Amino acid sequence: MKRQFVPALVPLLLLISAVVSFMYSHDTHTYHEDFRAQAVFLFGVIFAGQLLVEYYHGQRRVLAPLSIQAISSIILGYPITGEVGTELLLYSAILINFTLAAPFALTMLLMPVYVLITLRNQSPVVLWGEPAPGATPSESVLLGAIQLSVIILGATIAWYHKELSAKRRSLQQMEDTITQLSSANIGFQEYADTIVERSLDNERKRISRELHDTVGYALTNIRMLMEEAIGSYDGQSDNMFQLLTTTRDQARETLHETRTTLRKLRQISRVADDSDLRAVSRIVAAFQRATGIHVSIDRANTRSTYTPEIDRIIYRFLQESMTNAFRHGRASRIQIYMFEIDDKLKVYVDDDGIGCPDVKEGIGLTGMRERLEDIGGDLTLEGTAHGFQVRAIIPIDAGNRNEFEHTSRAG
């Protein structure tokens, strides 16, 4: 697992600065010939350890390169006692690496020990048979104070980074959950629409059979009774009255059955009408309650309903657009504009979210584009100065044309 770019860059820059500082002090301070080769080797080990720290970050194996860096820095710092600037840059790089890459408890345990060892190195020593003065007390105090400050700062950054990563994971989980719930919701609604349409179709078929069975049978009886009345008429009216009375009663009963059947059809029509654009108000209200996002609708000169196909497309378009504004745009306000112009219905959905310069269409938007293109419509996605806009253009006669073509093929 790799670190973010900025935390990974800080210790590397400190190490580079330490090398530059050492080279500058090398020009002003005479070191033993043997130490030059040793210093180059130790700096190389520390830089190689830095690469391994980045590679193994987030794994237990990172402790090995961290330990190698710490030991190498102590060995390297021992001969340059008194060069506080170089030591400070070197030790700070090691401390930051530990606080950002090692477990927090282990860092708090080992780093104070590391600081004490580096401070112990500031005492006067004899190197290659020659005395080295070491650091002054004030320099040692400054070095120790800065190192402790680096530990505290690094631990704070590590804690903040850990919390930020946890929140990002939680946010990603929430977005995944919302995506799954949205997909499930769309699936359930499509299933519900299918069930409703199937139920309405079955009810229409049943009523058609009733009309056939009741009205057809009754009219056949009336026809037969009338034929019998005509056939039995012999100029006398003895049986004519009874036949006509029976025919009247049969006609009355047929009229009653027809009215009852038509009343049932009217009820089905009311159920079917409930799936028109009035459903948009319901989904908007439900969306506002679920998300807390304010949604406004301006329907201008639009009708209460178009064809079932267009109504269904508008419903799905608004559903998908609002869900994306919440999920991806993180919007707080959504505005919906609907108006007719030049025999076209235009539906705009504006939000005040974060926008997106490069939109990658998912399954929802791809399906919506295909639905619109099937009826000669168009879908446009565009970032705005204040958020994002989704536009749908629908030919108003598209639904009637498709229904006519479907009826023609069925015929």
Distance, in Å, from the CA atom of 248 to the CA atom of 63, rounded to the nearest integer, reads 103
Q: What pLDDT is stored for residue 325 in this prediction?
A: 87
Cα distances (Å, whole numbers) of residue 108 to 103, 147, 155: 9, 13, 9
Report residues of the chain scoring pLDDT below 70: 1-8, 25-32, 82, 125-134, 179, 181-194, 196-197, 200-201, 208-209, 211-213, 215-216, 219, 223, 227, 229-241, 243-244, 248, 255, 259, 261-277, 398-411
Q: Which among 18, 7, 4 has a CA at the least distance from the CA of 85? A: 18
Q: What pLDDT is stored for residue 29 in this prediction?
A: 58
Please name every residue paired with 346 in a beta bridge, in sequence order, or none if there are none.
339, 393
Cα distances (Å, whole numbers) of residue 181 to 4, 178, 187, 320: 31, 5, 10, 13
Q: What pLDDT is stored for residue 263 in this prediction?
A: 67
Distance, in Å, from the CA atom of 228 to the CA atom of 224, rounded to the nearest integer, reads 6
**How do residues 298-345 score in pLDDT, each as one tens digit?**
988 888 888 888 888 888 899 889 888 887 888 899 999 999 998 899
Handedness of CA 354, 355, 361, 365 (dihedral sign): positive
